[in-house]
Amino acid sequence: MANIIRDFFIGLSNNRLLNTQAKKWGFSLGADKFVAGTTVESVMEAVKELNQQGISCTLDNLGEFVSDKTEAGQAKDKIIRLLNTIHEENADCHLSVKLTQLGLDIDQDYCIGNMREILSTAKQHDIFVNIDMEDYAHYDETLEVLNALRKDYDHVGTVIQSYLYRAEDDLENLKDTRIRIVKGAYKESEEVAYPDKASIDHNFLELAKQRLKGDAFTSIGTHDHHIINELKAFVEENNIDNDKFEFQMLYGFRNDMQNKLANEGYNFCTYIPFGDDWFGYFMRRLAERPQNINLVLKDTFYTEDNKLKKGPVAVGGAVAAVSALAFWCVKSNRKKNDAEE
């Protein structure tokens, strides 16, 4: 059942028609709990609030699979504006970017040019930029772009996904690069990725421990308290300095644990997405683990002491609405095709 749910939501995340329709529905679908608005101004308010709680942030201007240079250029300009705003606000914050938003599917050299502009501005402000890892079809090309950029910039890193068989080798090749370790949020073939949760979790722990024994900074991206507790014990047993790593979670998920880790003295970073192009991101978060759906429902409908909220935002209804929207779009497409025939 878990795989069926995962495949369903990943299928929704890749549907361009649904993405377009979801923009028209807006945050009434409930994504506002997990996406911090659509503008630079709105996301900076979220950053300030978290900074006051001793939590740093990384920002993701949502959008991917761009095939038009005008759109890619606009995304680059918005990211540069965001970098300038982070500097002006003196925020404890860095950036996460997706290469497909910046033209990777158009031309690799064009994408590298956009990244160079971004990294030059980030260097002026001493801000780190992380390149998010996307689906496996873009994996090798993403590493190629990173390696090209690393020749001139040392404040750029990327993400390693523990569901990939090759993750350990790639981590070794990037041992001097700042890395975020995650489980992976895309549906990949069993030829390249572990198909079962137990193997993915085991590999995640092995990769994280390997990195913690090294010298480069590591972001540990997980909501899994079992993994977090094991790594906390590993850090203590091996006398690993807390300044060598941070825990990282998504905006809107497990807020109690986020604050707990920060209060315990661990470096903590919240990954904050924002922008109009939120649909694919939201669906992949629901697809990652069945527990995420439970987290959405619990955080939305119940208070911390498990009492039903009086006026919750209907994220549960949002999921149903998205499902209904999916069927509506499929039905509309069929009618259109029948008419054309």
Task: Please report which residue ranges of the chain form alpha helices under DSSP H.
Answer: 2-13, 16-25, 40-52, 69-89, 108-124, 139-150, 167-173, 197-212, 225-237, 255-263, 279-288, 290-301, 315-340
Verify whether residue 68 is a known catalytic residue: no
Active-site residue identified among 60, 132, 135, 201: 132
Active-site residue identified among 178, 180, 211, 254: 180
Verify whether residue 180 is a known catalytic residue: yes
Closest CA to 104 of 151, 47, 66: 66
The residue behind tokens 């604050």 is 259
- For residue 116, give Cα distances in angstroms to 111, 138, 159, 207, 271: 9, 19, 19, 29, 23
Q: Degrees (nearest 5) of the Cα angle 114, 183, 325?
A: 75
Q: Annotated active-site positions, please?
A: 132, 180
